[in-house]
Structure formats: structure tokens, C-alpha cells
Amino acid sequence: MNRRSFLFSTLATAPGFAQKAVDPAPPSVVKPSGKPVKAKDNPDVKFHNAPKSLSKDAVTHDWISFLGPTHNAYSTETKILKKFTASGPPLVWEMSKGTGYSSPAIAGDKLVFCHRRGNLELVECLHPESGKKYWQYTFQTQFEDRYGYNNGPRASPVIDGDRVYTMGAQGKFHCLDITNGQVLWKRDLQEEFKIPQDFFGMASTPLLDGDQLIVNVGAPGGPTVAAFDKMTGRLKWGSGNEWGPSYASPIPAIVHGKKRVFVLAGGESKPPTGGLIMLDPTTGAIDFTFPWRSKSYESVNASCPVIFGNNVFISASYKTGGAMLEITPDFKARTMWTSPDFGMHFQTPIHKDGYLYGFDGRNEPDASLACCEAKTGKIVWRVTPEWMDKLSVNGQMQERLMSTYRGTLLHVEGRFLALGEMGHLLWMDLTPQGYKEASRAWLFGARETWALPVLSHGLLYIGQNSGNTPRLLCYDMREK
């Protein structure tokens, strides 16, 4: 069998049937050994102030993967600071970092973060409250962003007990012992599955599902989606052969009482192809596929599916827009509506009480914040948040009109915490009646503030990806 053209034997190609996987390169597995290491002073970290103690009745959670514990940018934390000064909430610590758009993952007293310095991708394990370093693991990379944005990792780490999983920009997939950084298994997905470099490298965060990790591999000829045993790294199943790897991450949900996974796939291809796959995570059997992709060659699918009830919303930029599907009891898709007026570039919109809220638009100048009625696709309102800010230009202070542009949204205690792509942090009240700014701060002046902020145990973590000194910053959001 030609491995490049078809990496798995098919029991049946129609949706509803499983596909038997053939692993191109099963990895070697190492048993955990060595003792847990203690956190030590981190020379890259500047510590500012210890965070406040958590309120005794505060609800907190770990943040073990991209989009948080519920995979939809909803935080269940309580007793969170709702007002801050113009400079923002108190800064606990900051760490100078290399390139990359990854956000951290946090579990207990461990924070794992990925970035790049020179020709090395780094996986670092830190103490969440102090920034002290437990360990660091590095590996070689030759990835270069074809458009000159950034050559660092995009995907976020995934923590599972005493293990952490990371995906590099070139598809180097690692399982590490979180207590000491030992490599337990590793794979080179780009090489093993003969995946050509896409526009911006591999950016999809793996989905932890029981005893497996589900990845939008996007191999030529298949599989489009693959599941790997979390303990051994071996391929369990492969599914689909139409579409390449997107920049969106697989999202789990319960639909009609059954577990399903939604993958918005589609990478570089001529003509551009891609769309939504709904599958059974147990076998990889595909229920349906729904094509959704811009007609433009230089385009991406980067916004994650949003699932609520038995509905799923997908969106894309580049004059594409959004589509709402209803999942029928026989696990097929019925199109409720499509609209060119609500298409996220990379932000995953948030559903609340029958409405979707998100930053529509491809570039800074055409970005806006909109409210869309989930049932009909009607745009209820659209606004471009704007204000005047002072910034230094060639050593002189000037006033400039600023905005959130292509921001991100995190839902916390009934409100929306927005991070603008120029480094602004805002509390917003968003309802079908309109938009209201409740509090705003300018944390730093830097472009490409694109990763969703992470909120865990009352602390907020934000990546500054450009400017004189790219940093990972920790802010105290604990309410007194």
C-alpha cells in the first residue's frame, strides 16, 4: 500500500463506518524514571508582587488545554476582580520569552508553556504563582513562517495527570513527565505522515479524550483526523481523506446523549478545500462532513467549532462567514442558516442564551464586535469599540485612536473579558441589547496579542508576542 496516498486500510468509506489504522512509525516508549524536581529561581522571570490569597469561597479550576476546561472559552471561576486601573490588574510576574503564539496550560502547581529561541523549541514547566522553573526540555526545529509573522509554536500544551503533551510547529509531538520533564514518547508527525508544511505550520491543539489524543493530522490521502494512545503514542485509528490540517482544534461534545468530536479541517490546497467533520471518538467513524472554506487560496480555517445543545456553529474569514447546523437524531447535519456577515478569523465565538458574540473580520481595520442570533443568523448589533490612547512615537507622546480589533473573548461570572490584539484588557457586558464597556486597561503596546488569555486559580496569563521584549505575563485577578 502506498503510505503517502493512503495511510490506513478502509473498512468502508461511507460515513458511519470505522477505519482500521496502520501506524507508519510506532514510537518507542520509556517508563517514567527519576524523582520529581523542585522549582528553582528562573533567570528569565521578574517577580513583582505576590498575589492576594484566594477568597475562602472562591471557585477555581485548572486550565489543562486550549479554550479551558469546558473547551468553549467559559471559565467557571468566581470572586474575580471586576474593576482595574488604567494600567490593569496587579502584575505578579513576567517572563521574557521567545517566539510563538501558544498559551500555557495549568494544573495544580504546574504551568507548562511552549516557545522558541533560535533553532530550539522550548517546553518549560513553571510554578504558576512565582514563575520559578521546575524543568526545561528543548528540541531542534527548522520551521520558518512563510509569511514572516512568527516562527514559534502555535498549539497549546495538554496536561493529563503526571503527563503533558505538546505539539511543535513542525508536528513534533511529545509526551513528557510533568514532574521532571522526561520524554516518555515522541513522534514526528510531519515526517511520518508526509505532511507538507502548511502556511503557518501545525497549530491545532490535540484533544485529550479518555485514553487517547485526537489530532487534526491532515495527511495527504488521509488520515485527516487521527487518534493516538496517550500512554504509548501509537496510532489507534485514522479517519477521513479529503482535507488537510487546519488551525482550529478538535472540540468534544455530547450530542443526542452520545460523545462526538467536531473537527474544522482544511489546510493549504489548490483549490482550497476544508470543512466540518463530526465523528465518533471511540472508533473514528465519521457521521457527516460539511464543506466550509473560503474560495481564496491564501485562506485558513482557524476558529474552533461552537457546540450547544444539538447545534454546531462554524465560521471562517476571507469573505466566508458562518454556518449553523442542527444535528438530527440520526447524526446527520441540517443547515439552519449561513451568513457572510459573521465570520471569525481565528477567535472562537461564545454562545450565551441563544446568541453568539465574536470579533468578525479578517484584518485590523475591518474588525468589529458583533452579536448574532443563533436561531436565525441575524446580526442583532455590530460595534467597533474605539477610544483615544496615548503612546510613545519616536520618543514623543501622541494620541492615537485605538480599538480591540481582532480580539478574543473569555466568559467569566456572567461577563466577558476581552483581550484586544494591541494589548488592551476590557471587561464587557454583552447582551442582545448592546455592548457596554465596564472597565479597560492597556497592559502593553504590542501587536499580535492573539492567544486567548488563561484564567486559573484567580490568576490571568497573557502572552505578549511582539514588541521589544515578548513576554508571558501573570496578573492577579483575585478579588479581595
Best CA proximity match to 168, nearest among 117, 203, 131, 125? 203
CA distance 361 to 57: 40
CA distance 297 to 319: 12
- Give the mean pLDDT of 128-149: 95
Residue 13, pLDDT score: 37
Best CA proximity match to 400, nearest among 417, 419, 423? 423
The residues near 365 (Cβ < 8 Å, ≥ 6 apart) are: none
Residue 186 grid coordinates: 515522541
Residue 280 grid coordinates: 465518533
As a dihedral over the C-alpha atoms of residue 136, residue 138, residue 143, residue 145, rounded to 10 degrees, the angle is: 10
**Partners of 213 in the β-ladder:** 208, 228
Residue 480, pLDDT score: 82
CA distance 316 to 303: 7
Q: Are 267 and 243 contacting, i.e. CB atoms less than 8 angstroms apart?
A: yes
Residue 15, pLDDT score: 52
Residue 149 pLDDT > 80: yes
- Can you point out the beta strands (E) in 395-433? 396-403, 408-412, 415-419, 424-431
Q: Are 159 and 62 contacting, i.e. CB atoms less than 8 angstroms apart?
A: yes
Q: What are phi and psi of 158, to 5 degrees?
A: -130, 120
- What's the pLDDT tens digit per position in 335-392? 999 999 999 999 999 999 999 999 999 888 889 999 999 999 999 999 999 999 987 7
Best CA proximity match to 226, nearest among 198, 206, 242? 206
Tell me, letter by letter, the H, E, C secondary structure of 170-237.
CCEEEEEECCCCCEEEEEEHHHHCCCCCCCCCCCCCCEEECCEEEECCCCCCCCCEEEEECCCCCEEE
- pTM of the full structure: 0.95
| Confidence at 393, pLDDT banded by 50, 70, 90 | low
The residues near 86 (Cβ < 8 Å, ≥ 6 apart) are: 440, 441, 442
Residue 395, pLDDT score: 74
- What's the pLDDT tens digit per position in 92-119? 999 999 999 999 999 999 999 999 999 9
- What's the pLDDT tens digit per position in 433-457? 999 999 999 999 999 999 999 999 9
Residue 173 pLDDT > 60: yes
- What's the pLDDT tens digit per position in 27-36? 999 999 989 9
| Confidence at 131, pLDDT banded by 50, 70, 90 | very high
CA distance 349 to 449: 17
Q: Which amino acid is at 298?
A: E
The residues near 393 (Cβ < 8 Å, ≥ 6 apart) are: none
Burial of 452 from C-beta contacts in 10 A (0-12 / 13-18 / 19+): buried
**Partners of 117 in the β-ladder:** 120
Residue 231 pLDDT > 80: yes
Residue 407, pLDDT score: 97
Residue 363, pLDDT score: 86
Q: Which amino acid is at 285?
A: A
- Can you point out the beta strands (E) in 72-156? 74-75, 91-96, 105-107, 110-117, 120-126, 133-140
The residues near 380 (Cβ < 8 Å, ≥ 6 apart) are: 355, 371, 372, 373, 432
Residue 1, pLDDT score: 32
Residue 116 grid coordinates: 522558541
CA distance 347 to 358: 7
Best CA proximity match to 153, nearest among 174, 165, 133, 170? 170
Average pLDDT, the chain: 94
Q: What are phi and psi of 191, to 5 degrees?
A: -75, -45
Percent of the chain with pLDDT over 70: 95
Q: Are 439 and 429 contacting, i.e. CB atoms less than 8 angstroms apart?
A: no
- Give the mean pLDDT of 123-139: 98
- What's the pLDDT tens digit per position in 403-439? 999 999 999 999 999 999 999 999 999 999 999 999 9
Residue 377 grid coordinates: 443568523
Domain extent listing, the chain: 41-171+450-480
| Confidence at 10, pLDDT banded by 50, 70, 90 | very low
Q: Are 246 and 301 contacting, i.e. CB atoms less than 8 angstroms apart?
A: yes
The continuous run of DSSP H or E covering 101 comes out as none
